[in-house]
A and B are shown apart, each in its own frame.
Chain A
């Protein structure tokens, strides 16, 4: 992709130098973004709040006293709501901040590619997301280890046994699930022109993404779609893909090892596509948003004539 500024900068580097330059851009943007996140006290409060919510759910559900898989079952539904929510809180202003203050216009005068800038910001926000989400979930896991029945400390080598490894697998699945929503949130931050607009679009995207997929599947079943197509349709949304993978790789291991809840390849691919799609939308918006605005202005002028 072209340099952000489009100022006619001559190509002065090639080969390894160009790669080094791209890595340096990503690293520089990443460092600044991470420092910004670390200096925002609200994110610490978010992690504490998330821990309180998860602790409350597990305490009410009672799964923690039984084992890791029952804990995952208790947490699954709430996870499908809070993880996207946290991802949006972390990401909805990621690209908007610099655009709103005008600092993006300044950054554009440096030899920085749009992709390098977006990736640097997404990586930093992704690391923050991991800390804010995975640490509370890991804390719950440690609590289950310490308090649940003795057989939870046995590492599973075959199906049917509860195991901390299954909980680790659940933690691992949180990462691509959260990455998909963080990437979507970043795209919202690129498209929105104000903080209020980002919140409005973010809420809309959240509701559609969290509920829309399931409602669409229910509707298609009601209109005669064969139930056998569900494993293929379910992973099309991030929530469906995540839920399917959790059933396939965590919950189902204990009682239905034959699987078949979801098409695993399609689920993994779906989360990857959502993640890369968000980054692509963010990059395209930053790279071509101004030109699109100019085209719209031209169309408006012609209409007015």
Chain B
């Protein structure tokens, strides 16, 4: 794995109505799969929004520092937003055309059908977005996020609400988009899939980064076997400390809920 940075967040804070959803968040995004995990309302979606440029931080900055590209960042929000009256193929064709405005040769232009095939949606190409299942929409969203081969792909809960098979497929497709010069940042509650696919982890709790780095290193530092153990050791441990208890009631982390912001 290369150590070249693709993006950096420095002192990022974001408030809504005076309530801090992210506080002083700093970390670098490097090639490979980075999973952002944390309890509901911990600021994962806001963090991914800041990283993608969709959300303006109230303080600090997020910068893309990766290789030159006409589309440096690909983004899939938590709620797949495509217009329902268009087919999957038409939807992707729109984004392919947008990505191709800087193209200098036909080889630089992606093929929408090929992109659909890559996520296993070739058979649903002519189906309207409104008629696609939730899983298919997410796969379409992942295909869109990778149009133009952006060096940084940001996916907010790509596996949320899907059956186990589709969840695995969605995560694997996302992981396949990463490479030596490409980073995929993905948020998820599915710690098993994170364990299986992530190279790095950013653990958020109440808007703050409580752990960040290579998954193996974090696990060995905390003396745990996997992401679930890491999550329990850090987030649940914090909750127990806050409660002043002995940790036995700290299995479910507390969450900050901000209307319209929290998942």
Chain A residues with a Cβ under 8 A of chain B? 5-10, 12-13, 17, 20-21, 24-25, 28, 31-32, 35-36, 39-40, 97-98, 101-103, 105-112, 290-291, 293-294, 297-298, 300-301, 304
Contact = CB atoms under 8 A, between A and B. Distances in A.
Given A111-B99, A111-B101, A297-B16, A7 B81 contact: no
Contact of A24 (B72, B74, B76, B97): B97
B85 interface: yes
Given A12-B102, A35-B86, 13 more contacts: A9-B70, A10-B68, A12-B70, A21-B101, A28-B97, A39-B85, A103-B81, A105-B77, A106-B77, A109-B52, A111-B98, A294-B57, A300-B15
A36 B15 CA distance: 35
Contact of B101 (A24, A39, A304): A24
Nearest to B80: A102
29 contacts: A5-B73, A8-B64, A8-B72, A12-B102, A17-B104, A21-B101, A24-B101, A28-B94, A31-B94, A39-B85, A101-B79, A103-B81, A103-B82, A105-B52, A105-B81, A106-B76, A106-B77, A106-B95, A106-B144, A108-B53, A108-B54, A109-B52, A109-B71, A109-B150, A110-B148, A111-B98, A290-B55, A294-B58, A301-B15
Given A5-B53, A294-B57, A102 B77 contact: yes
Contact of B58 (A7, A32, A301): A301
Contacts of B71: 9, 109-111
A110 B95 contact: yes
Contacts of A35: 86, 90
Interface residues of B, number: 45
Contact of A293 (B56, B68, B101): B56
A67 to B, nearest CB: 44
Contact of A101 (B69, B81, B86, B90): B81
B75 A106 contact: yes
B63 interface: yes
Interface of B: 15-18, 49, 52-59, 63-65, 68-77, 79, 81-83, 85-86, 90, 94-95, 97-102, 104, 144, 148, 150
A294 B70 CA distance: 27
A106 B150 CA distance: 13
Nearest first, the 3 closest Cβ-Cβ pairs linking A and B are: A105-B54, A103-B81, A102-B81
Contacts of B52: 7, 105, 109
A273 B56 CA distance: 31
Contacts of A36: 83, 85-86
Interface residue SS majority, chain A: helix
Contacts of A102: 77, 79, 81
Contacts of A9: 64, 69-72
Given A8-B64, A10-B68, A32-B94, A103 B83 contact: yes
Given A6-B53, A12-B70, A35-B86, A297 B101 contact: no
A70 B52 CA distance: 59
Nearest to B16: A297
B101 A105 contact: no
B96 to A, nearest CB: 10
A107 B98 contact: yes
B95 to A, nearest CB: 7
A10 to B, nearest CB: 5
B86 to A, nearest CB: 7
B75 A109 contact: yes
Contacts of B144: 106
Contact of B102 (A109, A111, A290): A111
Contact of B56 (A97, A103, A294, A300): A294
A228 B188 CA distance: 70
Contacts of B90: 35
Contacts of A24: 97, 100-101
Contacts of A25: 98, 101
A2 B75 CA distance: 19
Given A28-B101, A109-B150, A290 B56 contact: yes
A28 to B, nearest CB: 4
A82 to B, nearest CB: 27
Given A25-B101, A297-B15, A7 B53 contact: yes
A277 B65 CA distance: 36
Contacts of B104: 17
Contacts of B85: 36, 39-40
A96 to B, nearest CB: 13
A21 B8 CA distance: 29
A63 B60 CA distance: 67
A300 B18 contact: yes
Contacts of B17: 300
B18 A28 contact: no
A48 B71 CA distance: 44
A98 B94 CA distance: 14
A291 to B, nearest CB: 6
Nearest to B90: A35
A304 B18 contact: yes
Nearest to A21: B101
A79 to B, nearest CB: 31
A103 B18 CA distance: 26
